[in-house]
Amino acid sequence: MPQRDIDRLCSLAGSSDSRAWWAPWSHVVPDWFRTFVGLEGLASAEFIYEPTVIPGLLQTEEYAQELTRATGFVRADHNERFAEFRLARAQRLTAANPLRWHAVISEAALRLKVGETAAQRAQYHHLLTMAARSNITLQVLTPECGPHAALVGPFCVLDFELARSVAYAEHLDGAVYSQDFDQVKTFKMAAESLRETALSPDESIALITSLIRG
């Protein structure tokens, strides 16, 4: 989506000051991702599919630091700052008017070894705590669940009160945004496929609990 369209979307939602919270981290966050964070701050609901890692909004500090260090895309002296940014962004889920958030995470993402065993278990406990919130729905997609309509990779759909939805997908050094009705509809169809294919929220909680117990 062209930047002018994103700016118009932000204007419709009265967003001129709403993105300022991330200013302290502006030097460690790439421009293309700042746009997403600004839109996420305006959204009323978000759906995310993550087949590789635990989504940023659900990461513990230690998990975020270890993951940032391992990827190598952030300068070593910026690792902690970038992890702090992820934690600050996650406050959108616990604010007075929280984001309605639905995530489908693959079992592979849950099992990816990030940090030591204690850190991994702490991350699982954090997932259970967040999944208990009324504004958060968490589902796990296992290989046994079978095929679905999102085999091409991770994506996100943001919904707004005063504007059309925006679909978002990252690549290695940037991201693609779309507000085109037909394209967003395709992403939403994929999201619905994932909801129907993945384990139920209760089954997902049971799986995460079993990972804690080993």
The pLDDT assigned to 14 comes to 43
The packing angle between helices 31-42 and 3-12, to 10°, is 30
Express as a percent the part of the chain with pLDDT over 70: 80
Rounded distance between C-alpha atoms, residue 112 and residue 126, angstroms? 16
Examine the pLDDT at 15 and tell me if it is beyond 50: no
Max CA distance (Å), the chain:
50
Sheet holding 155-159, edge to edge: 136-141, 100-106, 45-50, 155-159, 166-171, 174-178
pLDDT digits (tens, 9 = 90+) for 110-138: 999 998 999 999 999 999 999 999 999 99
- What is the domain partition of the chain in residue ranges? 3-213
Q: Tokens in use for 143?
A: 């290989």
Examine the pLDDT at 139 and tell me if it is beyond 70: yes
Half-sphere exposure of 202 (CA within 13 A, CB side): 0
pLDDT digits (tens, 9 = 90+) for 157-192: 999 988 889 999 988 777 888 889 999 999 999 999
The pairing of beta strand 100-106 with beta strand 136-141: parallel
Whole-prediction pTM: 0.85
Rounded distance between C-alpha atoms, residue 129 and residue 93, angstroms? 12
Please name the CATH architecture into which domain 3-213 falls: 2-Layer Sandwich (3.30)
The pLDDT assigned to 54 comes to 95
Rounded distance between C-alpha atoms, residue 161 and residue 13, angstroms? 8
For residue 66, name the pLDDT band (cuts at 50, 70, 90): confident
β-partners of residue 203 are none
Backbone angles phi, psi at 99, to 5 degrees: -65, 135
